A and B are shown apart, each in its own frame.
Chain A
């Protein structure tokens, strides 16, 4: 299963609403997770099962979608949110990650 994230990068300001898309090459039900990664650090789980917020993750993060089209939304971007975001499908082996979306300061 191929996961295509768009855009591959974006520039945004603190307070902006940010939306990242992830499209699967075939239907994966709701078996999708989102991760945030900062330089030199391990990834951090944000959302699983497409829309379930991981414990401790701020509520400004939300996920939606099912089948082939998914979205990660940051409702009001904070300074600590500048990072790279990855989606991952868990419906079929081998598991796969999207190519990543880098959120940069505008």
Chain B
């Protein structure tokens, strides 16, 4: 059974940092693109970024709104995806989802999703 479990959310002050983790199981993690998608309270979905798979040398891509502040990494030995969030802003407040992408880039962001973890940026 495919499972994605996010952790690491919480309350952080503006300008602070937070690291989210996503623990994956039930599939060959290194084969898949992995995405982060967020949803601000009462708003729509926003793609945050992705890690390419092993075949694509783990290339990362980011939304313009987080580029230069957020870093996506993965550890295939631990079947884990990470989102390092720096210089956080109040507008980064959202539920953050980890999602399993396809085996190739341009298919989908997530055929499986985690339950989401809430990040609140507030003083």
Contact = CB atoms under 8 A, between A and B. Distances in A.
B114 A33 contact: no
Contacts of B37: 43
Interface stretch (B24-32, B60-68, B84-92): B60-68
Contacts of A97: 44-47
Given A33-B108, A48-B102, 19 more contacts: A31-B106, A33-B109, A35-B110, A42-B97, A42-B99, A42-B110, A42-B113, A42-B115, A43-B37, A43-B45, A43-B97, A48-B108, A86-B45, A90-B109, A94-B61, A94-B64, A95-B47, A95-B50, A97-B44
Interface in A53-106: 54, 84, 86, 88, 90-91, 93-100
Contacts of A100: 44-45
How many interface residues does chain B have, given as a range?
20 to 34
Interface residues of A, number: 24
Contacts of B110: 35, 42-43, 45
B44 A99 contact: yes
A6 interface: no
A43 B114 CA distance: 10
Contacts of B111: 45, 54
Contact of A96 (B47, B108, B116): B47
Interface string B44-85: 111101100000000001111000000000000000000000
Contacts of B106: 31, 90-91
A94 B113 contact: no
Contacts of A42: 97, 99, 110, 113-116
A43 B64 CA distance: 22
A2 interface: no
Contacts of B114: 42
Contact of A90 (B44, B62, B107, B116): B107
